Structure 1
Amino acid sequence: MRAGPAAFAAAFVLAACSGEAPSEPAPAVLVVAGRQVDFVRELATGFGEGVRRVPGVGQKIIGPETVDNAAEMRMIRGFLDGKHGSISLFTFAPELFADSLGKAAAAGTSLVGLHTIPAPGSRVPLFIGNDNLAIGTQLGEAMAHRIPAQTEGLVIIGSPYPGVVVLDQRASGVRAAVEKLRPDVTVLGPFDTKQDPAANKQAWKTLQEANPHALAFIGVGGADAHSLAELRDTHPTRIDGGVGTDPKALSVAGTGALVLVSTEPYLQGLLAGAIQARCAKDGDELPAGWLAVPGLVVDTVNVGEIVARQASDQARRAWFKPQADAILANLPDHLRPLVEAQ
């Protein structure tokens, strides 16, 4: 397993976990947008596993099937009064929830950000997620090392949500790494590749048709990796890059034609669920700071291991257990100042 320092999308965990431990802890609730999105499903699966690590605490996972900020807002409104136990909120638009989260904090609900940096005003003391600049740097370095030195040409970066902080940071990391290691290469983008799967695939098809001789196409969102894998041709000299563990993308990564960086959403969800559940059961206050979850480069060296890991919930649980155990056993050692989150 290769892991570096490390987070498309946004998330928050809310937990009413202070004071004396209740005799019957309230369930840990996860509210998400876009339950059909692959990495959201992994967040939810990991969250459930994290809660199950703490006997006596129940769980509930709800949210719209598609990305719908308004529907998500309606679902969470009834849980913000500090009386409903621990609540995890995943949203693609953290700034839209800042006011509600601030009011929740004022009502006594402890807040934790998951996967994306909390928006100003949300009064979130704990953030669990990647170092997204590092995620981009990992991907950019992996791609640059596969481009021969002194090669001239184009590298095209795409993002399904330009302007979303975590994705912009990934794109910045990719650009900086490629330009540093391959100064003769021209990096363009990030271009808007859209979140909708069909629109995303068409956006990448258009970019490839407009740049048929590009050295590489690199996407920083989960939808990008799937589209790049589906559009992959037999071009003998091009290697593309993406983020995530989409099954189709993993298949192409096994051929050496695609390099991936996994943001490890299962582990992020697991840590959030376990911390919330333990807090709810013991009545302890949540820790404060940034719990950084490292990314993982996936290529021909380890793709077989990752495919096996992703094959079942049981395999994921076994694969992540040592890493999760180590973090949860020494949580203070893994926390960084929240102001450093990126």
Structure 2
Amino acid sequence: MTSRSRHTAAALALLTLAVACSTGDGAPAAAPSGPPASGRAAKDVHVAFVGAAANLNFSQEMMEGAKYAGQELGADVQVVAPPGPDGQAEVGLFQQVVATAKDGVSVMTLNPELFTRPAADAIAKGVPVVAADVPLAKDSGVTTLVSNDNPAAGAMLADAVLTRLPAGKKGTIVLGVPTPGLPVLEARLKGMKERLLAKNPGLEVLGPFDSKQAPDDNYKAWSGLVRAHSGALAFLDAGDPAAFNLPKIKQETSASWLCAAFDLNDAGLAAIKSGQSVGVADPQHWLKGYVATRLLIERALGKREIPKGFWDSGAAMVTEDNVDEVIARQKGPEARAAWYKKLIDEQFADVQGRMKPLS
């Protein structure tokens, strides 16, 4: 066995979580139209969710949503991810769970180019695949994406910063991206830049600069960028680690510039509460993991076919005005599920009606 195989097998053994519970009162009703019930017991349904990294918030949130879908519907859900961002290791995990999760696999990856062939191979074997957050290539055969409108989310983040600047204020805003070239993040950056310049043409928007995905590397990258652009009005990042690293750097340097980023983590939420951060755009990743996994389970139970296209699961801005509500939501699985219930009910009320073309 090669060192890569040993690493992947170890990651799978350490990070796989199986969920199998009775359906209970929370089980969703069958769709009003669609395929007849399969006659299978929920406990006999086996699906999986493959996350990008066990140490990053966006992946953790989706994994938690996937686990809850299994608990709610009473199905067996494997949830796996490499310890940190590692595309090759994630592919290895995906290929391993395809062997056991015969009823489908949903996947979120920072390396979609690596999944074209593995996803196509899984589909050829009769295993459905749903993409969460990041689209896979057309040649993968994956025709369903559960994500959010990322240009709109980027614009939302820019608006939160602009409200803290005097109208027409001139100066520099620096943009960072932890995974350059990743379509999801590039879309967020596009939304940020377009909104900043549309509302204040006097701004100079620099970047995006590579801010690195690993938390320690992200801290070092942003420390260097802050030193290089010490007179900037604001620093914005399209990803996760900057949500806590930028406020940390701001506090360490006793600076007055503004900062904002994406995704949730305890340190980032605390920074909003303390005033060190303008806020974070929350792509509501928990909901993506839940929706992608529930669609696979319901298909296996004969409740509905997996809809083709783009399922926009939504996004929201977290600022000092609502940070306490979000902190309370993040206390545990049941708190998250209770908070998201209204959105879940709304989104599943008209599944076909909410689908958009998958470009």
Q: TM-score range by the shorter chain?
A: 0.7 to 0.9
**Larger mean Cα displacement after TM superposition, 201-210 or 61-70:** 61-70
Alpha-carbon distance in 2 for matches of 1:236, 1:74 = 44
Residues 42-81 of structure 1 mapped to structure 2, 5 A cutoff: 42-55=61-74, 57-80=75-98
SS of residue paired to 1:146: coil
Distance 1:19 1:281, change over 3 A: closer
Name the CA shift for 1:283/1:108 in 2 (closer, same or farther; >3 Å).
farther
Aligned residue type for 1:169: A
Is 2:130 the counterpart of 1:112? yes
Aligned residue among 103, 110, 131 for 2:121: 103
Distance in 2, matches of 1:137 and 1:34, equals 26
Distance 2:342 2:304 in 1: 24
Q: Does 1:239 align with 2:261?
A: no
Separation in 1, partners of 2:101, 2:247: 46
C-alpha offsets along residues 11-61 of structure 1, whole Å, 9 cap, x if unaligned?
Answer: xxxxxx999554563312122231121221111111111122223x21121
Partner of 1:163: 181
Match runs of 1:70-149 below 5 Å: 70-80=88-98, 84-149=102-167
Percent identity, aligned pairs only? 28
Q: How does 1:161-240 map to 2 (within 5 A)?
A: 161-233=179-251, 237-240=256-259
Give the Å deviation of 1:82: 9.6
Provide closer, same or farther for how the CA distance between residues 19 and 338 of structure 1 changes in structure 2, counting only shifts above 3 A: farther
8 Å contact kept, 1:155–1:186: yes
Give the Cα–Cα distance (whole angstroms) in 1 for the partners of residues 52 and 202 of structure 2.
41
Instruction: For 1:147 and 1:250, locate their aligned partners in 2 and report how far apart those are by CA, in whole Å.
Output: 21
Matched position secondary structure for 1:222: coil
Distance of 1:36 and 1:251 partners within structure 2: 19
CA apart distance, 1:166:
0.9
TM-score when normalising by structure 1? 0.88
Please say if residues 25 and 280 of structure 1, whose CA atoms lie closer than 8 Å, have aligned partners that are also in contact.
no
Q: Contact 2:46 / 2:101 at 8 angstroms: preserved in 1?
A: no
Matched, 1:251 2:288: no
Q: In 2, Cα distance between the equivalents of 1:147 and 1:337?
A: 37
Unaligned runs of 5+ in 1: 1-16
**2:292 counterpart letter in structure 1:** A
- Alpha-carbon distance in 2 for matches of 1:75, 1:249: 30
Per mean C-alpha deviation after superposition, the further-off stretch among 237-246 and 166-175 is: 237-246
Paired residue for 2:309? 289
> Which residue number in structure 2 is paired with residue 25 of structure 1?
44
Assess if the C-alpha contact under 8 Å between 1:20 and 1:284 holds in 2: no
Alignment pair present for 1:277 and 2:272 = no
